[in-house]
Structure 1
Amino acid sequence: MIFYFAVLTALPRVSLESGPINGWLHVSNKGISMPRIFISDGFYQWITVVAVGCLAAFFIRKQRIKKHDLTGENTHAVYWAFFTVCTFALIGLFIHPVFGFVGGIFSALATLFENIPTTLIKVLLSSILIFFAARWIRNFFASRRSATGHLSLIDDDIFRMIFVGAGALIAIIVVVAWTGISSWILNSGRDLFHMLEAKFEVDGAARPFDAMKPDIVKPGKFANYGTNGLTMGPGFAAVFFGVVFYTSAFVAEIIRGGILAVPKGQIEAANAVGLSRGQSLRHIVLPQAIRIILPPMGNQYLNLTKNTSLAIAVGYSDIVQVGQTVYNQTGKSLPVMAIWMLFYLTCSLTISVIVNFYNVRMKIVER
């Protein structure tokens, strides 16, 4: 709010000569306008080249790691993989039209989905459900079998197997009886492949990316930003920069504290074995610091999601302000608050799952 009233509203009015870099960057009390980069018609051919590069990088990294294991030489596997992807991405800017034939493949797949009967989809889905249920029960039996082959089951184990089997049976009945599921899969697959076919059937000279410079128009007495370029209104700019500055200060302190929490002896040991400062940071310090950084970093991202609701203080229309407008006009406050709760709960749980996943992956495994 202070940033909004002290900085943005104090900026000069927009005019045809607005700067600081006229034609490239415009800053005024109407907000900020800058060049906009966006994907163009040739993007999908280019991303196909990048996908091929990722596949090549995977095998190159695998070979470099194998060489490192055999010789002990520092083969820089990650760097090789990264530069491989970058090379393919750079080359793809010039050769991406050769992948226009992929559109024909998607066209054939769309035709295939049009001719598949719904009965086949029902049989396929039922087979998948039976396979996964049987696999789970088999693995469950294996986990309850002792080293001598003795199988020991308690009542809870039997109920769990019955629950999995009954759940699979109910799902099969729903799939077979409800034809709409199979039809939806076929129609969605057909539409998806038709869409991808259209993305690849473009002019061979199409570029993967394009850009637009910001413009200023003056249809009457007052100038304003045009439709070209990337424009941030004063409300959005205030929220964006306010949240970025506020959150980045906490994130920087969390990372600093995590790095300083690593015992000094670890760094001294790395220096003793001849590791450079960068190698010591990458191989010794950061792997230990991340275990300390992740929990407070997750909390900070949760706070970031909720702090965006403060946009209402500067008049920016986010989900909170739109909800207030809805229940002021309709009087239905309970559904609006339920939508708020569901939205923020979904965001919080999603961030928590991601952070906890990496937290479990990074934890110390003891003997």
Structure 2
Amino acid sequence: MWITAVSLAAWCWLLLGQGFFWRTDVRLPPHREPEAWPPVCVVVPARDEAAVLPESLPSLLAQDYPGRAEVFLVDDGSSDGTGALARELARRHGGLPLTVSSPGEPPRGWTGKLWAVRHGVSLARARAPEYLLLTDADIAHGPASLRELVAAAHTGGFDVVSQMARLRVESPWERFVVPAFVYFFAQLYPFRWISREGSRTAAAAGGCVLLRAATARTACIPDGIRHSVIDDVALARAVKGAGGRIWLGLADRVDSVRPYPRLHDLWRMVARSAYAQLRHNPLLLLGTVAGLALVYLLPPAALTAGVTAGDPATAVLGALAWTVMAGTYAPMLRYYRQPLWLAPLLPFTAFLYLLMTIDSALQHYRGRGAAWKGRTYARPDAVPDEG
């Protein structure tokens, strides 16, 4: 009963004291259009993305941006014709100028994505842009996306404006797992705290990051974060460390078109970076597992045990904690246009994430951690510091 009371207290604190993370009304802040639109370069790292480029790249080329803008797609050693397809899409659809280039294999100490970003940023700097839009190859943008991002950054004086793209939720497993992924991210990095003056909380969503070019130089991006598997959070911390301001929120017209139809696909997506999020620290892993069990798994277990054992106090506390949990999850389900009956199932989704986190640690110690598209990345302190 007392342990269940602790779980309920934790949920009351999460409800009121964790930056109202569960609310989904953090969208692009009010903004006005600048008198003169600054030049922007869009950098798209892409590795084996031929399956999604026909849905995503035309949306970038078709941006309704009043200023000068162009797109740099960096083909990171693809084996599926990504670069050739990008050129064909640009020829067919027209729109913003497109440059396709390849940097070769990343040197030791670099993740493939950041090596591609470095190459793209180097090409872009020759055009003297004021802003860089770093966006993934699976992200489709509404026609006014770039315009709104720049206007928000200009109005608010932000060095980074990032939107959490709306992920695909079509298969049964996507509906069960994906909204919880964003919910857990917002719980770790409450959006309201990120933009608050003096706050140390820093995060961005790697699929859509508008970055001031001068700030990228000051914060040594991407060179200073070259080994980061969770590159978006590392980028945000580097920007804040350099005195920059960040805004992060949910998107309305920025969508991921990458499918995760099977549980295996979602499992790989989470497990590849979960242990890196815990800094490859076994103590943090144990604390995370214990915390997930206390906060997410205990309430339904306490309700069941209380009813079975005839212990009404434990049953009521468990039911209250479970109700608060489901209530905080409901706004995210509404944002993803999913049925609210999924809210009480959050403990079971959390159990899956617990298993994914443990598997991430096991893969790390087997030498297969942080594996993605044929590459496995070493623990950051295992690579030489070339700086």
TM-score range, shorter chain: under 0.3
In terms of fraction of residues, the more strand-rich structure is: 2
TM-score normalised over the length of structure 1: 0.26
